[in-house]
Amino acid sequence: MLNLGVLASGRGSNFQSIIDSIEAGRLKASVKLLITDKSDAYAAERAKKHSIEHLYINPKDFTNKDVFYEKIAGELSARGVELVVLAGFMRVVRKPLIERFPNRIMNIHPALLPSFPGLHGQQQAADYGVRISGCTVHFVDEGMDTGPVIVQAAVPVSPEDTEDTLSKRILKLEHKIFPEAIRLFAEGRLSVEGRIVKIRGYCVDEDACLLNPPL
């Protein structure tokens, strides 16, 4: 059973998808702690509903960002967390947390990285006029959405798409591939070699497997 720690800033829909996968028996994991950096984050209500411990840690209570992340790292370590999941956590993670959990922090981004990192990836894709966009689960490093890619899933983009319409389609895939990436980690099927994440047991020679993992 994999012990998870989740960081969130807002509504926590990806957090809910992880909870749902655990409760359905598809993911052998347990969420030991949710940490939010906003007092009104709806993710906290989801934690309460499912009897998951929640902490609100206000970054303004700390002298600098490194001390803030040292506090987070300490709380996660104290509960035996093995993998940290960023479920809509709207901050760039810093060294104290990354060094405590090397290649053990996952994030999901609503674009096909390395294209369109940072905020509003869906709007960036629509404005650029791409024909395919999607979402990416990646390990976290000190950059902005620059860590090694784990899994990706793609959606078509219409010239009529707005940030809102594209976001809705991408979000459906986020809810599938984030629990899937965590499952792969829990099963010991991921290894990182430089920038490459190798996935034991995944097909690589069929078109259907190139962008979308078998869910």
What string of DSSP letters covers the chain?
A: -EEEEEEESS--HHHHHHHHHHHTTSS-EEEEEEEESSTT-THHHHHHHTT--EEE--GGGSSSHHHHHHHHHHHHHHTT--EEEESS--S---HHHHHHSTT-EEEEESS-TTSS-SS-HHHHHHHHT-SEEEEEEEE--SSSS-SPEEEEEEEE--TT--HHHHHHHHHHHHHHHHHHHHHHHHTT-EEEETTEEEETT---SSGGGTSS---
Q: What's the pLDDT score for residue 70?
A: 97
Global pTM reads 0.89
| Whole-number Å distance between alpha carbons of 21 and 16 | 9
Residue 97 included in any domain: yes
Q: How many domains does the chain have?
A: 1
Mean pLDDT, the chain cut into blocks of 10 residues (215 residues total) = 97 95 96 97 97 96 96 97 96 94 96 91 90 96 92 93 92 95 96 92 54 45
Task: Note if the bond before 214 is cis, omega within 30 degrees.
Answer: no
Residue 192 included in any domain: no
Residue 180 included in any domain: no
Active site residue 50: no
Single-letter code of the amino acid located at 60: K
Residue 93's contacts (CB-CB under 8 Å, 6 or more residues apart) are 69, 86, 105, 140, 142
Residue 70 included in any domain: yes
Q: What's the pLDDT score for residue 28?
A: 96
Q: How far is CA 163 from CA 121, 125, 157, in A?
A: 9, 8, 11
Residue 80 included in any domain: yes
Residue 6 included in any domain: yes
9: CATH: 3.40.50.170
CA torsion 63→69→74→79, rounded to 10°? 140
Residue 110 included in any domain: no
Q: What's the pLDDT score for residue 203?
A: 58
Look up tokens 């000190």; give the residue.
Answer: 142
Closest CA to 147 of 187, 93, 201, 200: 93
| Whole-number Å distance between alpha carbons of 208 and 215 | 11
Write down the catalytic residue from 50, 109, 120, 175. 109
Give the domain extent around 6.
Answer: 1-102
Residue 8 included in any domain: yes
